[in-house]
Amino acid sequence: MLHEKAHETHETAGANEPLHTRFADPLPRIPLVWGPATFATLDDQIAGVTERPQPGWWWPALLVTSAVLVGGVIAATYLISTGVGVWGSNNPVNWAFDITNFVFWIGIGHAGTLISAILFLFRQKWRTSINRFSEAMTIFAVICAGVYPGIHVGRFWYAWFMFPLPNANHIWPNFRSALLWDLFAVSTYFTISLIFWYVGLIPDLATLRDRAKSRARQRIFGFLALGWRGSTRHWRHYEVAYLMLAGLSTPLVLSVHSVVSFDFATSVIPGWHTTIFPPYFVAGAIFGGFAMVLQCMIPARAVYKLENLVTIKHIDVMCKFILATGTLVGYAYCMELFVAWYSGNPNEWQTFQDRAFGGDYTWAYWTMMTCNLFVPQVFWVRWCRQTPWFVLIVVTFVNVGMWYERFVIIVQSLHHDFLPGSWGRFYPTWVDWLQMVGDFGLFFTLTLVFLRYLPMIAIAEVKGVLGMANPYHTPVPDAEYLKANGRYPTQDHERAAAFGPPSNAPRAVPASPEPVPAFIASPGGTGKPWGVVAEFANPHDLLVAVRRARDAGYQQIDAWTPYPVHGMITAIGRYRSRLPLFTLAGGLTGLAAAATMQFYLSAYYYPIIVGGKEYRSWEAFVPIFFEMTVLFAGFFTLFSLIGLCGLPKLFHPVDNHPTFKRSSLGGFLLTVEATDPKFDPDGTRAFLEELGGKHVAVVEG
């Protein structure tokens, strides 16, 4: 019966059928989670980290990172109280460590968005083990970067000059300035990343709430989870909202480092002004970001024993990304060098000759080349990708190399500009160094706090990639697990199989901690029933039950699951969410606002000539068009998600059901509401028991 139903709802043959292998499978896919794991063990393993007492090394580590952070605070305080002269920046090198660190940290953030958004769009499901951590890293890295625009003016009480507000004499900021685009790009990036991170966290916050033993944890996570209970009606908006945010973040991440590259490339300084800068900066950012993810993830997976979730295959694939993006960055280095020669432009060639062959900063250039282009080439070799301590060494090189890349671009290009008379070198002061090191303190302090208090792996998403999460999953016999023709096709298969075969879906509903009465009263209830709750053992049983209930004529059905179960939305009789319309509306609103603001202010209200361009020239407005489009679309997506789901809903009649909180852990619950025309307290309850539901009870509204 299940199969006929599937054919009715899908236009293609074969959709929704059991995932049996119809053809020879000589190269079985390696599962993403290695070894036995159930929904409950995942909760214990991941959420448990935040619940158990911190491991012994955590306090000393926090002490060290916060001491380093204090160094940064001292440097910033000294800078603000004295003036930017305390830095080594000079003339001609008027920009040095400040902007180098800014670009470095912004870049670090990009891997997080790539992993969470771009890999999501490409359905690379291995991302589920690392996306939460990387997204958190994005946010912390952007905070680290955000320090510099704030303090580099020295008089930071004038930081509001950066915002689109009139300062003196009705003068507005210059909307054709790359530095203003930076403000829009970075703040949009921070906001959207935060929204994306938070939306991803909601189901996990609900898990933490439902696992909480203490009243305080229950309240804090209950408040933050907005009353998320895993309703399929909510998942249907949630999944689309997540897709929309991924779709927005993808061009956003490209735009952010492109805008950062415009800081340099819109000038005419040799070494800065070159057309490949936008994609080159993006590739470099992802490259450096991946290195930082591994830098943090490899130790974290070891100390928290997450090798079954962040497997050696994850490290392997991330190393391939580092190899690919490192080679792309190398391609850009070579293009710059080649075109500097090919152009026949003496200024351009002078800069690159000085950079690469026998100038003051040639050592930095070759440090960059070695760390970014040559060293990562070891990742062509499998052993190098699959040996964590070795990977850790290589990614350290990459992090150093990416810092030097920005240093080379910024300092080397500036120190030999058009006027040989003003050539000069840059010498960093102790304040420069302390500020730079202090940023690492900030980053690692935030990371340590995050590891401690929030789940570092997206629990709900990992649940969704378990084999048993698919309602049609048919496990292979343990003896044939990952084998083809009786043997493992590759060493990777063998390594994965060594963790043991995966767990099978539970066949029975675990007992309730307290007896479940047939009628559950709500404190201060209306006396009328809200509906009937029934619990099922696994996604398959729930899906079958939902379809039978629909066939029996029930309409107000909802399925409550810890992750979005495939096919459940159509099973409860709903269709695709219309949330994308809100996203589109948001985008158009943002675009219209950006267009009005920039054209009105720059061409009409206070016309300013910039770079000899016309007042109404549109080109330089494009970065802000784009950023505001994405910013508004992101806000609209978040608010429409919350609105369409009817959140926050901190209290709900079903909360009184003793096992209902399993809907965010490992339980699969079905409800039929009293508003259903066919609803009858006793009849519906009997019907759900007949379907195999356990802990069936009518709850008071």
Partner 1 sequence: MTTATTTDGPANGPPLTYPPGLPDDVAPMGEKAAGTVRMLLVVLGVAGVVLIAGAVVAPRQFFHSYLFGYVLALDVTLGALFWVLIHHVADAGWSVGLRRVFENITRALPPLALLFFPVVIGIYSGNLHAWYEFIAQPEPPAGSHELHQWHVKHLYYAAPFFLLRIAIYFGVWIAYATAMRRWSARQDEVGGAGLTRTMQWWAPSGVLLLGLTATFFAFDLLMSLQYSWFSTIFGVYFWAGGIRGSLSMGVLLVLALRAGGYLRHTITMEHLHDAAKLMFGFTVFWAYIAFSQYFLIWYGNVPEETQFYLLRRNGAWYEASILLPVVNFAVPFFLLLPRANKRNPVTLAVAAGWILLTHAFDLYWQVLPVLHQDTVHVHWLDVAAPVFMLAVVVLSAVWGFRQVPLIPVRDARLNETIGYENETP
Contacts with partner 1, residue ranges (CB under 8 A): 10-17, 21-27, 29, 121, 123, 236, 239-240, 242-243, 251, 254, 258, 262, 265-268, 273-279, 327, 331-332, 335-336, 339, 341-346, 349, 380, 484, 489-490, 564, 566, 576-577, 580, 611-612, 619-620, 622
Specify the residue, 377 or 522, whose C-beta has the smaller distance to partner 1: 377
- Count how many Cα atoms sit within 13 Å of the Cα of residue 4 in the half-sphere of its side chain: 4
Q: CB of residue 256 vs partner 1: minimum separation in angstroms?
A: 13
User: Using CA atoms, how far apart are residues 91 and 81, in angstroms rounded to an integer?
Assistant: 22
Q: Could you tell me the smallest distance in angstroms from the CB atom of residue 377 to partner 1?
A: 11
Of 339 and 585, CB closest to partner 1: 339
**Residue whose CB is less far from partner 1, 355 or 662:** 355
CB nearer to partner 1: pick between 70 and 268: 268
* Shortest Å, Cβ 532 to partner 1: 28
Query: What backbone torsions phi and psi does residue 558 show, to the nearest 5 degrees?
Result: -140, 145
Q: Which is nearer to partner 1, 123 or 507 (CB)?
A: 123
Rank residues 251 and 500 by Cβ distance to partner 1 and give the closer one.
251
Q: How far is CA 41 from CA 50, 361, 515, 691, in A?
A: 15, 53, 24, 28
The rounded Cα 632 to chain-centroid distance in angstroms is 19
Q: 557 pairs with which residues across the strands?
A: 672
Yes or no: say if 172 and 601 are a contact pair by the CB < 8 Å rule. yes
Closest approach of Cβ 591 to partner 1, in Å?
A: 13
* DSSP secondary structure, 106-163, as one string: HHHHHHHHIIIIIHHHTT-GGGGGTHHHHHHHHHHHHHHHHHHHHHTTS-GGGGGGGS
Closest approach, Cβ 76 to partner 1, in A, equals: 32
Residue 111's nearest CA partner among 446, 402, 382, 450 is 402
User: Smallest gap, in angstroms, from Cβ of residue 239 to partner 1?
Assistant: 4
Tell me whether residue 12 or residue 81 sits nearer to partner 1 (CB atom): 12
- Give the nearer residue to partner 1 in terms of CB position, either 50 or 570: 570
Paired tokens of 13: 């043959």
Q: What single-letter DSSP state applies at residue 243?
A: H
Q: Find out whether 601 and 616 touch, Cβ atoms under 8 Å.
A: no
End-to-end CA, the chain: 34
Alpha helices in 230-311 (DSSP H): 232-265, 277-303
In sign, the C-alpha dihedral spanning 186, 441, 299, 51 is: negative
Q: Checking DSSP bridges between strand 694-700 and strand 519-520, what pairing results, if any?
A: parallel
Of residues 103 and 434, the one with the C-beta less far from partner 1: 103
Q: What are phi and psi of 484, to 5 degrees?
A: -130, 130
Of 142 and 259, nearer to partner 1 (C-beta) is 259
Closest approach, Cβ 559 to partner 1, in A, equals 16
Nearer to partner 1, 332 or 408 (CB): 332
Q: How far is the CB of 461 from partner 1 (least distance, A)?
A: 13
In the complex, the smallest distance separating the C-beta of residue 302 from partner 1, rounded to whole angstroms, is 27
For 154: left if phi > 0, alpha if psi spans -120 to 50, otherwise beta; the answer is: left
Q: Which of 391, 395, 352, 340 is nearest to 372 (CA)?
A: 395
Phi-psi region of 97 (alpha: psi -120 to 50; beta: other; left: phi over 0): alpha
CB of residue 273 vs partner 1: minimum separation in angstroms? 5
Shortest distance, position 333 Cβ to partner 1, whole Å: 10
Cis check: omega of the bond before 648, within 30 degrees of 0: yes
- Per the CB < 8 A criterion, the answer to whether 174 and 608 are in contact is yes
